[in-house]
Amino acid sequence: MSTLYVVDHDRGEIADPVLEGLTAARALDAGVAAVTVGAAADGLAGALAEYGAAAVHQIHHDELRDYAPAAWGDAIAQLVESTGATAVLSVGSERGNEVMAHLGAALDLPVVANCIEIDPGDIWEMTRVRWGGSLHERARLDAPIKLATFAPHTTEAAPAETPAAGTAVEFVPDLGPEAAITRIVDRVITEEGVTLATAPVVIAGGRGVGSEEGFAPLDELAALLGGAVGCSRVVTNNGWRNHKFQVGQTGTVIAPEVYIGCGISGAIQHWVGMMASKNVIAVNTDPDAPMVTKADYAVIGDLHEVVPAVIEEIKRRRG
């Protein structure tokens, strides 16, 4: 098996799931080689070697200075032909899945997205998540070159016991200007600082919060803990918070160190968006709410009393 792992990056910056995916790829093929597209990512070679990349194929071309999914797919397809790779893997991020879809189209091969388990062989047996995580599907992949992505937050990122060589190998594909049919031409920053997707602590409010104004203590607690506020869909449906705060199947998928669900029942569509949280704390009046029964810790009580009491205690301890 000769495996390439495509690195999702934004101008040389990678998100955590990229190293999780490389860890999972290394478990399948100890000789996995990484692929970075664009010179901005050349500096990643050291980190990729630390996580087990035996080689790092650095794809360089004028058309690849920034993210251009079709051109990335086309360029990686040429690399696959040149290296004779038999498997290409990536992380199931939005970009990872998009680039792999273009690669599949370029090679005329199927892609299995968001895998949580892969049993390789002539035919790969795999389990993948569907419908935002509420369904696990068994899939079989019978193709001359296997293309797949790993669902984010299912493998812990771990450096290799001994760092691999990470030998940088330049590859220059043959691309015309039409290859980059979609490309980034401008970036607008809509949110700065801690964001819901990356916050280490998320304080999420649901119907139990009761109103837009009811979120003030949750905002205060999040600020005290260096975290972000999230919410359930009932909250966005009621117009108490914008959809960008929604956690879940049709919102943002998060994996913070600590998730505190206040007045949230824990419906499956919400749960799949936060189930990768390292520690789940529920604040709820109902001891039988799914969020309470599945949480690591629960406080049975009225959030309008519990959250201000927690804020007061934090302030008292910090003097």
Ligand X SMILES: Cc1cc2nc3c(=O)[nH]c(=O)nc-3n(C[C@H](O)[C@H](O)[C@H](O)COP(=O)(O)OP(=O)(O)OC[C@H]3O[C@@H](n4cnc5c(N)ncnc54)[C@H](O)[C@@H]3O)c2cc1C
Q: Report the residue number, 225 or 234, with the smaller CB distance to ligand X.
A: 234
Q: Would you count residue 91 as binding ligand X (CB under 6 A)? A: no
Q: Would you count residue 214 as binding ligand X (CB under 6 A)? A: no
- The minimum distance between CB 299 and ligand X, in angstroms, equals 9
Q: Would you count residue 218 as binding ligand X (CB under 6 A)? A: no
Tokens 């600082």, located at residue: 193
Q: Would you count residue 238 as binding ligand X (CB under 6 A)? A: no
Distance CA(77)–CA(79), nearest Å, equals: 5
Q: Which residue in 7, 263, 277, 310 binds ligand X (CB under 6 A)?
A: 263
Q: Contact, 90 vs 6, CB < 8 A?
A: yes
- The minimum distance between CB 134 and ligand X, in angstroms, equals 9
Binders of ligand X among 279-298, rule CB under 6 A? 283-286, 289
Q: Which residue in 36, 265, 281, 295 binds ligand X (CB under 6 A)?
A: 265
Q: Contact, 23 vs 45, CB < 8 A?
A: no
- The minimum distance between CB 208 and ligand X, in angstroms, equals 3
Question: Is residue 191 packed enough to be buried (19+ CB in 10 Å), middle (13-18) or exposed (0-12)?
Answer: exposed
Q: Tell me which DSSP letter residue 57 carries.
A: E
Judged by CB under 6 A, the stretch of 39-47, 72-80, 138-146, 261-269 that binds ligand X is 261-269
- Among 47, 45, 148, 142, CA closest to 89: 148
Q: Would you count residue 206 as binding ligand X (CB under 6 A)? A: yes
Largest CA distance in the chain: 64
- As a whole number of Å, the end-to-end CA separation of the chain is 59
Assigned token pair, 319: 């003097």
- H-helix or E-strand spanning residue 119: strand 111-119
Q: Would you count residue 270 as binding ligand X (CB under 6 A)? A: yes
Q: Would you count residue 203 as binding ligand X (CB under 6 A)? A: no
- The minimum distance between CB 253 and ligand X, in angstroms, equals 9
The contact set with ligand X (CB under 6 A) reads 206-208, 232-234, 246-251, 263-265, 267, 269-270, 273, 283-286, 289, 302-304
